[in-house]
Amino acid sequence: MLVDRGVKGLAVPTIKTDNQAGAYEAVKHLIDLGHDRIAIITGIPGVETSEERFTGYRQALQERGIPLRKTLIRQGHFQKDQAFSATKELVRLKRPPSAIFVSNEPMVSGCILALKESGLGIPEDIAVVGFDDPVWASYMDPPLTAVSQPSYTMGILAFDYLLAQISGSGRDKKYLKDVILKPTLFIRQSCGSN
């Protein structure tokens, strides 16, 4: 059993969040607020969570007829420092984005730091949405709009799967299939909406 992401070529049950749906909802929210130059800071190429979140981003743009602009796509490799650099590149573009969707919590920290260091206000100059809902998200100024994963539920289910394996009941059909949990978008002020 795997938790949080699957691995290509490894046929074992996985407990994870619907990353594509979470990213889709986040980007759709930005579009609904009038943004059409939405950047993304992605994770690690080839890693399932990163690819699924990018797919959700692309899906939201496509459904609203917004072109996928390669100049607005940056890799942050799930790292704070790389997201900081990626954000600096984005804000220096001739036509910078009006919003940024950031694919995980450490990268959100780097993005916000880069925006503040660049003298840009959130959301006045640029809106920010993150994937993951860190404990500090609602205390930030302004509070961060974020996609929250049901991490506690994932942990409980993983423990149940582990106990089933130990007790020998792990061959039951319910333990042989993937579990995909629904994320929640918490709308706060970092997008100019509450």
Q: Note the pLDDT tens digit of each residue in 116-128.
A: 999 999 999 999 9
Whole-prediction pTM: 0.90
* Model confidence band, residue 5 (pLDDT cutoffs 50, 70, 90): confident
- Quote the tokens at residue 72: 């607005």
The contacts found for 82-87 with CB under 8 angstroms, 24 or more apart, are 82/107, 82/110, 83/41, 83/107, 83/108, 83/109, 83/110, 83/111, 83/114, 84/110, 84/111, 84/113, 84/114, 85/110, 85/114, 86/41, 86/110, 86/111, 87/41, 87/111, 87/114, 87/115, 87/118
CB atoms within 10 A of CB 90: 24
- List the domains of the chain with CATH numbers: 19-149 (3.40.50.2300)
| Tokens describing residue 44 | 């690690």
- pLDDT per residue as tens digits for the range 103-115: 999 999 999 999 9
What digits encode the pLDDT tens for the residues 56-101?
Answer: 999 999 999 999 999 999 999 999 999 999 999 999 999 999 999 9
Q: What average pLDDT does the chain have? A: 91
Helix ranges (DSSP H) in 64-150: 80-91, 105-117
